[in-house]
């Protein structure tokens, strides 16, 4: 059937309108495409030309700034300083040997460092930056930057390197950082990606090691654009990481520096503890070493010199070293006897110079004996026979229990490497470890701090602080982290009889202030700062009957390594104890001669906050002390309490 002419015309008009709309839309779309193509081909031509040359985007880790370490007054102990280095990326370099050869014409490359870099380049992923030259000069960086077109894959960088401005003063406490090695990775269950970066440094010993995760921080990332030649064209974006947290130690720079200077020339250790807070105000081991030597990798010659030194500078004697405490242990035995009701303070024991126990003669240090001695005199004169008698009454179990109560035989929880637990022996301990039954003679030896008993200077300082306060004072090394104060070691009362503690303190006071006391020559004259102490001498060799018969050799007549260790512990002031001090001088001979003068000087420095007036010393010592103070000031420039640090 034929459609009307009117309908056909209307249909034609609709088709025409639709065609125009569709055509217009297509024209608009084509116009947009043309504009977009012009933008891509003209406006962004340079960018896409680079991409056409096989440019690509790399994501690289940004090592975070390591947390800094400060002393108790906010003075720097460990910091980060700018360090220039030159890196190379293997897969961007192409012919690595050729690039390194070109680089060597511009910058001096250390053979050992280069060998390590080649090793890293061969075993690490191809896109990992490897350092070929570290701590180069700004001039070196400039030459490399100018010649980057001829050095594909080579990138000059500015990083941070650890620096220890106090040098050897904090070596054993703070420790040092060094490049990550295979042993480090083996002891970590899931290593942080940062640790896999070549030459990335982590803590090796001391606080740097024990608080590694706190100090390390978290990595940032950056996206960089590199061309086919391996040259970085631009940095696209960057996400900063989180810097490590800052740590404030309880130690005082000036006191720490003084203690190191005072121990100079000896194989020794000293600990100063705040009796109220438990803060370690100083903790020194001598001789020491410069931790900056280890940051980039110590040379074989320098390391060999440290290993061959008979005074053993590498171990931290203050916390790792364990020694027979000698007569400094007598307070433990006396307090155990008092608390157990085995002796009255006024009771006397006769000392003829020796005591027979199970058919064996145990000698007193004074060959002719002390006669009748009570508790007070036994400590003042350091009579051995009195404590032999106490051992037979009390027994080793109660003596060792009291020792642990006073902080001996415990590995105190400090962020330090290899904190020693010492040894407070028991019958079971000997049976398990020696396969032998405990003997009465073992108890007699232990009663005077010999035999199996072992303690560190740190433990002896804690023991002294607890005797001085009656509280379970606990040592604290970290004062705050990022400004957040850490719990103190003030401690709770130990529940000991206060009258018994008073008896011990009075006897220790007599050691230092009575003319017959073993440390009277090293007393403090200033009444407000009078100290109470105890000398100790621990044997490192057996004295045979034949040697006693012909006369025991004096320490000064023996080779150094066969001489006795010298010890001294004290607290001051007597009426209101502020500090407790422990000193050991390895193979120093008698405690009264070698250790007590050192401890007295350290105690006065801690109490006065600097060099004490000469009036605090006995008159006969003042000229010597004046000269000594001048020498020690020269030995520790810039370490005063005016806020300056040693450069």
Contacts 24+ apart (CB under 8 A), 442-446: 442/396, 443/391, 443/392, 443/395, 443/396, 443/399, 444/355, 444/357, 444/362, 444/388, 444/391, 444/392, 445/362, 446/329, 446/391, 446/396, 446/399, 446/400
- Number of residues in the chain: 647
- Rounded alpha-carbon distances, angstroms, from residue 314 to 267, 304, 591, 639: 11, 11, 24, 23
CA atoms within 13 A on the CB side of 644: 8
Max CA pair span of the chain: 151
Tell me, rounded to whole angstroms, the distance of Cα 562 from its chain centroid. 30
Cβ–Cβ < 8 Å for 160, 80: yes
Using CA atoms, how far apart are residues 455 and 464, in angstroms rounded to an integer?
13
Task: For residue 41, give the DSSP letter.
Answer: I
Q: 512 catalytic, yes or no?
A: no
What secondary structure, in 3-state letters, does 141-187 show?
HHHHHHCHHHCCCEEEEEEEEEECCCHHHHHHHHCCEEECCHHHHHC
Q: Can you read off the two tokens belonging to residue 392?
A: 């037979």
Q: Which of 200, 227, 272 is nearest to 50 (CA)?
A: 227
Q: Which residue shows structure tokens 């390197």? A: 161
- Dihedral of CA atoms 195, 418, 256, 302 in degrees, nearest 10, equals -60
Neighbouring CB atoms inside 10 A of 146's CB total 11
Name the active-site residue from 161, 285, 288, 327. 327
Cβ–Cβ < 8 Å for 235, 223: yes
Angle at 399 between CA 393 and CA 404, to 5 degrees: 170
φ/ψ of 146, rounded to 5, equals: -65, -30
* DSSP reduced 3-state for 561: helix
Q: Can you read off the two tokens belonging to residue 505?
A: 């303190």
Using CA atoms, how far apart are residues 124 and 166, in angstroms rounded to an integer?
36
- Rounded alpha-carbon distances, angstroms, from residue 577 to 161, 465, 466, 607: 42, 8, 10, 10
Using CA atoms, how far apart are residues 378 and 386, in angstroms rounded to an integer?
6
The DSSP result for 501-513, as a single string, is HHHHHHHHHHHHH
Helix (H) or strand (E) holding 235: strand 232-239
Using CA atoms, how far apart are residues 386 and 588, in angstroms rounded to an integer?
25
Catalytic annotation, residues: 327
């Amino acid at each position: 059937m034929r459609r009307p002419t009117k309908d056909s015309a209307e249909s034609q008009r609709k088709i025409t309108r639709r065609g125009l709309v569709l055509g217009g839309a297509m024209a608009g779309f084509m116009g947009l495409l043309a504009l977009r193509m012009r933008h891509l081909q003209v406006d962004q031509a340079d960018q896409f030309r680079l991409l056409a040359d096989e440019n690509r985007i790399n994501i690289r880790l940004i090592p975070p700034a390591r947390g800094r370490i400060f002393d108790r007054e906010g003075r720097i102990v460990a910091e980060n300083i700018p360090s220039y280095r030159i890196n190379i990326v293997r897969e961007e370099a192409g012919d690595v040997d050729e690039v390194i050869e070109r680089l060597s014409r511009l910058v001096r490359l250390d053979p050992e460092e280069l060998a390590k870099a080649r090793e890293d380049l061969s075993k690490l992923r191809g896109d990992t930056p490897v350092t070929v030259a570290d701590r180069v000069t700004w001039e070196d960086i400039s030459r490399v930057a100018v010649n980057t077109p001829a050095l594909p894959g080579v990138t000059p960088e500015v990083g941070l390197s650890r620096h220890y401005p106090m040098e050897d003063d904090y070596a054993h406490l703070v420790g040092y950082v060094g490049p990550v090695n295979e042993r480090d990775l083996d002891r970590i269950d899931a290593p942080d990606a940062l640790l896999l970066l070549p030459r990335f440094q982590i803590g090796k010993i001391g606080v740097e090691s024990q608080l590694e995760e706190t100090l390390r921080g978290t990595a940032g990332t950056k996206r960089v654009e590199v061309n086919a030649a391996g040259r970085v064209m631009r940095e696209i974006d960057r996400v900063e990481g989180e810097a490590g947290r800052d740590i404030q130690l309880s130690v005082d720079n000036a006191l720490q520096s003084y203690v190191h200077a005072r121990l100079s020339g000896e194989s020794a250790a000293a600990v100063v503890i705040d009796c109220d807070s438990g803060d370690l105000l100083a903790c020194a081991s001598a001789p020491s070493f410069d931790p900056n030597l280890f940051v980039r990798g110590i040379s074989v010659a320098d390391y060999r010199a440290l290993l061959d030194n008979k005074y053993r500078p590498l171990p931290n004697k203050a916390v790792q070293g364990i020694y027979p405490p000698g007569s400094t242990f007598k307070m433990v035995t006396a307090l155990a006897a008092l608390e157990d009701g085995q002796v009255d303070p006024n009771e006397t024991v006769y000392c003829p110079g020796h005591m027979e126990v199970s058919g064996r003669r145990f000698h007193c240090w004074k060959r002719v004996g002390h006669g009748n001695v009570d508790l007070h005199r036994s400590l003042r004169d350091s009579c051995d026979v009195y404590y032999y008698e106490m051992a037979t009454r009390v027994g080793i179990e109660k003596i060792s229990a009291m020792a642990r109560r006073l902080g001996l035989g415990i590995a105190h929880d400090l962020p330090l490497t290899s904190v020693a637990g010492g040894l407070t022996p028991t019958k079971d301990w000997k049976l398990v470890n020696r396969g032998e039954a405990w003997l009465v003679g073992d108890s007699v030896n232990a009663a005077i701090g010999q035999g199996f008993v072992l303690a560190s200077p740190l433990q002896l300082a804690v023991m002294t602080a607890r005797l001085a306060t009656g509280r379970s004072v606990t040592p604290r090394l970290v004062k705050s982290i990022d400004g957040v104060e850490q719990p103190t070691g003030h401690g709770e009362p130990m529940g000991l009889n206060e009258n018994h503690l008073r008896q011990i303190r009075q006897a220790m006071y007599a050691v230092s202030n009575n003319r017959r006391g073993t440390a009277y020559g090293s007393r403090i004259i200033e009444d407000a700062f009078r100290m109470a102490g105890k000398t100790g001498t621990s044997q490192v060799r057996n004295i045979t009957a034949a040697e006693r018969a012909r006369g025991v050799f004096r320490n000064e007549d023996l080779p150094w390594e066969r001489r006795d260790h010298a010890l001294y512990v004290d607290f001051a002031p007597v009426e209101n104890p502020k500090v407790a001090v422990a000193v050991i001088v390895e193979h120093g001979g008698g405690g009264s001669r070698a250790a007590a003068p050192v401890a007295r000087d350290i105690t006065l420095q801690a109490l006065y906050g600097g060099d004490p007036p000469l009036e605090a010393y006995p008159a006969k010592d003042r000229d010597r002390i004046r000269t000594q103070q001048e020498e020690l000031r020269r030995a520790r420039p810039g370490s005063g309490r005016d806020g300056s640090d040693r450069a």
